[in-house]
Amino acid sequence: MSETIIALDNVSKCYRRYHRPIDRLKEILLPGKKHSQKFWALQDINLEVYQGETLGIIGQNGSGKSTLLQIIAKTLTPTTGTVHIQGRVAALLELGSGFNPDFTGRQNVFFNGQILGLTKKEIEAKFDTIAAFADIGDFLDQPIKTYSSGMAVRLAFAVAAHTDAQILIVDEALAVGDAKFQARCMKKIRQLQGDGVTLLFVSHDLSSVKFLCESAILLNQGRILEQGTPKFVANRYIALLSSDHHTDHSSDMIALEKSHKVETEKSNAFADNIPNEQDYHRHGNAFAEIKSAIITNLDNIDLKGKVETGSKFKLRVNIQGNNDLDDIVVGLSLRTLTGVILYGTNTYLLKKSIPSLSKHQSTVVEFEVPCFLNKGLYSISIGVHSTEGISYDWIDDLVLLEVINARLCDGLIDLNAEVNLPEIPPVLSLNRDPQI
Ligand SMILES: Nc1ncnc2c1ncn2[C@@H]1O[C@H](COP(=O)(O)OP(=O)(O)OP(=O)(O)O)[C@@H](O)[C@H]1O
């Protein structure tokens, strides 16, 4: 078993709440008389996190998640209890909270990196990687106060993810970034997990928690209500939300809706052709090359990645030969943004052979796909390889698919179930006539 890297022993946090701002002033000017009420944001938290573990933290608005993370990040002291942290913590708490709004992004990378424990030299060595990850172009030399929240979070995540910290805290931040950036963050998080980084991940997106985390806790009114596998804890959270009729969960719902809206608005800008190489994992010997891939309707009209549930779409892939090839197979892998493969196929499996391709010759392969997906964002990776499986070209997450579903249902797919209320035949009186 790995060693404990975070240990909280009976941690509680009490805030003082004032009805009116004047009460705070009165308390300062006239010490002795209290004009506030105590409010326990966290109570009796006992928690151990192991090195390399990814812990999901779930809970309604106001349940104490941020307070807990701030205590672990040591930006807040608990009222009672003890906290032991081994190693350096890089925390991505409130949006760009570590940034100085008057400094440029570039200056803030140094400023923030140093707060997170790196030397100037170390930041210099990592600067290009951080800038490439954030991918905010010329804004890097503009003051942070001119940034959109999405830009600030890109830069903040880029710095936090490249500080070689042993513990990384990510609090809801990814919901603000666009879908392409979220996918890149997910990949980076997976890489950090592979490197043994301990991760605390707060999200309202339960599928991300289930996908990324090995364990989870459910906070409710400042206490740990449940602890266990992400699936178990997520189910408890759903049960809590639906059982707690008297509580107003509108803000939780608004947060979910908002994050979805941000994703979908930004996704329209997603390029339909080959994006920046640095963003995507691409491999192959380049004997053939994927030149473009777009989503169209059956009349070949570009849908800009937007497809409705229940419709059919075409994925049109343009390939160019860089050698003379007579054994080309083109395939696709449709995934959730967290990387779960939902469907994969190729021209070989679909029993369609692609005519030989000579050097500099192009061809188009169309996959016609009925869309059974539920509303959400998905990615399609595309590959070209030989019948023996030698990769000519493969691009991860080349196409972003935004599915719109007018019907409301749960889950990743919409099976379009129907419901019937059959008439129950009247109960027949039992005929006990022995002749029958
Ligand atoms: N400085 C403060 N003074 C008084 N109360 C506070 C303060 N900070 C937080 N609280 C209260 O403590 C409780 C827990 O807040 P916290 O921000 O930790 O919740 P959260 O689970 O992160 O919520 P959200 O999902 O909305 O971010 C809330 O009721 C909040 O109003």
Which domain CATH number covers 380? 2.70.50.60
- The CB of 62 under 6 Å from ligand 1? The reply is yes
Q: Does the beta carbon of 65 sit less than 6 angstroms from any atom of ligand 1? A: yes
Tell me whether residue 45 is in a domain.
yes
**Whether residues 254 and 391 fall in one domain:** no
Same structural domain, 319 and 396: yes
pLDDT, position 249: 45
Claim to verify: residue 253 and residue 327 sit in the same structural domain: no
Using the predicted structure, report yes or no on whether residue 331 has a pLDDT greater than 70. Answer: yes
Q: What local confidence, expressed as pLDDT, does residue 168 receive?
A: 92
Identify whether residues 171 and 51 lie together within a single domain: yes
Residue 252: pLDDT band (50, 70, 90) is very low
More confident call, 433 vs 237 = 237
Q: What is the reported pLDDT for 280?
A: 56
Evaluate whether residue 300 is within a structural domain: yes
Tell which of 227, 242, 265 closes a domain.
265
pLDDT given for residue 83 in this prediction:
96
- Give 233-284 as a DSSP string: HHHHHHHHHHH-TTS--HHHHHHHHHHHHHHHHHHTT--SB---GGGS-EES
The backbone torsions φ and ψ at residue 398, rounded to the nearest 5 degrees and listed phi first, read -70, -40
Ligand 1, residue 16: give the atom nearest the CA. 4
Total domains in the fold of the chain: 2
Residue nearest to atom 30 of ligand 1 (CA): 62
Q: Are residues 57 and 193 in the same domain?
A: yes
Confidence of residue 244 (pLDDT cuts 50, 70, 90): low
Residue 48: what pLDDT? Answer: 96
pLDDT recorded at residue 117 = 80
Domain boundary among 235, 265, 295: 265
Mean pLDDT of 230-245: 78
Residues 6+ apart with CB under 8 A from 294: 272, 273, 302, 315, 316, 399
Q: How far is residue 5's CA from residue 48's CA, in Å, rounded to a whole number?
A: 8
User: Is the C-beta atom of 17 inside 6 A of ligand 1?
Assistant: yes
* pLDDT bucket at 50, cuts 50 / 70 / 90: very high
pLDDT at 55: 96
Residue 16 alpha carbon to ligand 1 centre in Å: 12
Q: Which of 230, 265, 300 is the last residue of a domain?
A: 265
Bigger pLDDT: 25 or 158? 158
Q: Is residue 113 part of a domain?
A: no
Is 392 within a domain?
yes
CA nearest neighbour of 330 among 297, 291, 298: 291
* Residue 314 sits in the same domain as residue 253: no
Q: Is the pLDDT of residue 251 over 90?
A: no
243 and 284: one domain? no
ipTM: 0.96
Among 12, 13, 38, 66, name the best residue to mutate to test ligand 1's pocket (greatest count of ligand atoms within 8 A of Cβ). Answer: 66
| pLDDT band, residue 196 (cuts 50/70/90) | very high
pLDDT reading at 1 higher than 80 = no
Supply the residue whose CA is at minimum distance from atom 1 of ligand 1.
Answer: 15
Q: Are residues 203 and 70 in the same domain?
A: yes
Ligand 1, closest atom to CA 13? Answer: 12
pLDDT digits 0-9 by tens, 120-146: 999 999 999 999 999 999 999 999 989
Average pLDDT estimate for 371-395 = 90
* 186 and 69 co-located in one domain: yes
Instruction: Kindly state whether residue 332 falls inside one of the protein's structural domains.
Output: yes
**CATH code for the domain of 226:** 3.40.50.300
Domain-located, residue 250: yes
In a domain, 44, yes or no: yes
Per-residue pLDDT of 148-194, as tens digits, reads: 888 888 898 898 889 889 999 988 766 666 767 777 788 888 889 98
> Mean pLDDT of all residues in the chain?
84
Distance 21 CA to ligand 1 centre (A): 18
In short, whether 66's Cβ falls inside 6 Å of ligand 1 is yes
Distances (CA, A) of 420 to 326, 417, 425: 53, 10, 15
Helix (H/G/I), strand (E/B), else coil: 312 = strand
Mean pLDDT in residue range 321-336: 92
d(CA 329, CA 310): 28
Q: Whose CA is nearest to atom 3 of ligand 1?
A: 15
Does 173 lie in the same domain as 43?
A: yes
What is the structure's pLDDT at 260?
Answer: 34
Say how many Å lie between the CA of residue 138 and the centre of ligand 1.
36
Domain membership of residue 152 (yes or no) is no
Residue 38 CB–ligand 1 contact under 6 Å: no
Nearest protein CA to atom 26 of ligand 1, as residue: 61
User: Which range marks the domain in which residue 38 is found?
Assistant: 4-87+166-265
Q: Is 63 in the pocket of ligand 1 (CB under 6 A)?
A: yes
In a shared domain, residues 317 and 258: no
- Segment 289-313, tens digit of pLDDT: 999 999 999 999 999 899 999 999 9
Question: Edge-to-edge strands of the sheet including 312-321?
Answer: 288-296, 312-321, 362-370
Instruction: Give residue 262's pLDDT.
Output: 33
Q: Are residues 332 and 308 in the same domain?
A: yes
